[in-house]
């Protein structure tokens, strides 16, 4: 909404009302005594201007937020909004306190209380935009007007208060319009980021599905090769009884084993059939054992079955990348992996920590198993990503990645959140206390 155009229209309407009232009063010859410009300005311009400013924004807010057939949802949205909470907990108590001081204090206290009423309005405006002025402005105007009309107030005090209200409300409306534009841009950027994350998650899951189908196809191909080679060897024995079949049979088994290993590297059977814990306890453990690296895996918490498959996929791939990164140090002799799952305020999360123990005495063992260490990334299906790349991978799921080197250890800790719908991603700031489903 264009607040500048709205204020310009209100100004023109107020000037037209003042001109009409002055003309009507002059023609009716109701003006007695000398001409008083200040009195005319308050009665015929400032008064109508403040009245219009107090009413029109409410009408516009109701029109902008109106959705036919969803009255209950609109009421619930208004009552649960942050603006309503701030108004009820901060604005109304502070305005009531200042209004009481304005009623019971001396002249100096009244002046300070009147000026101080603009502070909570300004705070809400900086936080919520022009809607905060539309809500708080009428309250402040009503409190000051009641204090001025409840007793015989001097004309100078009345003129000063009306001018102060006009300047304050108008300035805050202009400021609130700028704040609202900034908030709208931030919301647009947030939604754009959510769309990018959603597309990235879908791409990740589709890529994982392709790898799974390819792995299954390779396993089927390996079985077919075994059957075909067995039949071919049997036919060759019938044709040439004295043929040396041992070398041919060994080569056929080696080919079949390579195809099975390629399928296992792309998408492990344990991961496909028994889930994330089995993949971490079996696939990763076997690859590290073949590379001569000790391995310990600890899994705790609950709720893994309710996590989105994309989150589990990202967790497994992140674990593999972290293991490969940690073991790229020749001094790494042991790897410890800790996985915990839980739920906070209805939002599920998972934490992964990979820790490598660096010992200079283990360099000789690393050199001895250098060939197996080189194949570790291929066995785990890892892409040998660097820390920035792993961090970008984790951010797809609103996650964080931290790297620490405490003494002779190298730690990578990642936290990922569950992928849910956009409308369910917003967590209320006044949600119930934390609930951690962690043992």
> Which ranges of the chain have pLDDT less than 50?
31, 33, 35, 421-439
Say if residues 179 and 129 touch (Cβ distance below 8 Å).
Answer: yes
| Helix (H/G/I), strand (E/B), else coil: 110 | helix
Burial of residue 439 (CB within 10 Å: 0-12, 13-18, 19+) is exposed
Q: Which tokens in the block code for residue 401?
A: 């990645």
Please give the CATH architecture assigned to the domain spanning 275-439. Answer: 2-Layer Sandwich (3.30)
Q: Which tokens in the block code for residue 8?
A: 């310009």
User: What residue has token string 């937020």?
Assistant: 65
158: which residues sit within 8 A by CB, 6+ positions away?
Answer: 42, 148
Strand 347-358 with 400-404, pairing: unpaired
pLDDT at 28: 63
Which candidate, 292, 296, 294, places its Cα nearest to that of 371?
Answer: 292
User: What residue has token string 């008083």?
Assistant: 36
Q: Which tokens in the block code for residue 313?
A: 């996929």
pLDDT at 352: 92
pLDDT at 436: 39
pLDDT at 130: 85
pLDDT at 429: 38
| Prediction pTM value | 0.66
292: which residues sit within 8 A by CB, 6+ positions away?
Answer: 365, 366, 368, 369, 372, 373
Cα 217 to Cα 219: distance, rounded to the nearest angstrom: 5
Strand order in the sheet with 294-301: 294-301, 332-344, 347-358, 409-417, 400-404
Angle 344-300-307 from CA coordinates, rounded to 5°: 50
pLDDT at 338: 92
pLDDT at 27: 64
What residue segments make up the domains of the chain, in order of their start?
Answer: 3-196, 275-439
* Alpha-carbon distances, residue 351 vs 318, 418, 435 (angstroms): 11, 11, 16
Burial of residue 177 (CB within 10 Å: 0-12, 13-18, 19+) is buried
């Amino acid at each position: 909404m264009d607040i500048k155009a709205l204020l310009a229209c209100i100004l023109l309407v107020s000037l037209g009302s003042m001109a009409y009232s002055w003309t009507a009063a002059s023609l009716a010859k109701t003006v007695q005594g000398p001409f008083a410009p200040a009195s005319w300005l308050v009665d015929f311009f400032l008064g109508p201007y403040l009245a219009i400013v107090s009413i029109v924004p409410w009408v516009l807010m109701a029109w902008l937020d109106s959705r036919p057939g969803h009255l209950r949802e609109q009421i619930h949205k208004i009552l649960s909004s942050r603006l309503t909470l701030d108004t009820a907990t901060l604005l109304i108590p502070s305005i009531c306190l200042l209004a009481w001081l304005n009623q019971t204090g001396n002249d100096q206290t009244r002046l300070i209380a009147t000026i101080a009423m603009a502070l909570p309005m300004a705070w809400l405006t900086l936080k919520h935009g022009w809607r905060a002025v539309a809500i708080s402005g009428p309250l402040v105007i009503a409190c000051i007007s009641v204090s001025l009309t409840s007793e015989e107030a001097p004309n100078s005090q009345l003129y000063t208060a009306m001018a102060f209200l006009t300047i304050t409300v108008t300035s805050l409306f202009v400021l609130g319009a700028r704040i609202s534009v900034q908030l709208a841009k931030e919301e647009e950027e947030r939604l754009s980021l959510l769309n990018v994350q959603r597309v990235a998650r879908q791409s990740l899951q589709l890529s994982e599905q392709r790898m799974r189908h390819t792995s299954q196809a390779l396993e089927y191909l390996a079985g077919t090769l075994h059957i075909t080679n067995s039949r071919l060897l049997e036919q060759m024995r019938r044709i040439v009884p004295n043929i040396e079949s041992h070398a041919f049979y060994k080569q056929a088994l080696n080919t079949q084993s390579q195809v099975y290993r390629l399928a296992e590297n792309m998408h492990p059977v344990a991961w496909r059939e028994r889930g994330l814990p089995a993949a971490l306890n079996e696939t990763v453990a076997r690859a590290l054992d073949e590379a001569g690296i000790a391995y310990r895996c600890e899994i705790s918490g609950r709720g893994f079955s309710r996590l989105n498959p994309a989150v589990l996929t990202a967790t497994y791939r992140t674990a593999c990348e972290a293991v490969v990164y940690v073991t790229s140090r020749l001094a790494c002799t042991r790897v410890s992996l800790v996985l915990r799952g839980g739920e906070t305020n209805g939002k599920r999360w998972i934490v992964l920590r990979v820790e490598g123990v660096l010992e200079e005495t283990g360099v000789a063992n690393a050199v001895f198993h250098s060939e197996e260490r080189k194949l570790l990334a291929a066995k785990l299906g890892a892409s040998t990503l660097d820390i920035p790349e792993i961090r970008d991978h984790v951010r797809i799921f609103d996650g964080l990645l931290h790297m620490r080197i405490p003494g002779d250890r190298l730690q990578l800790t990642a936290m990922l959140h569950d992928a849910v719908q956009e409308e369910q991603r917003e967590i209320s700031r006044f949600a119930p206390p934390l609930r951690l489903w962690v043992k």
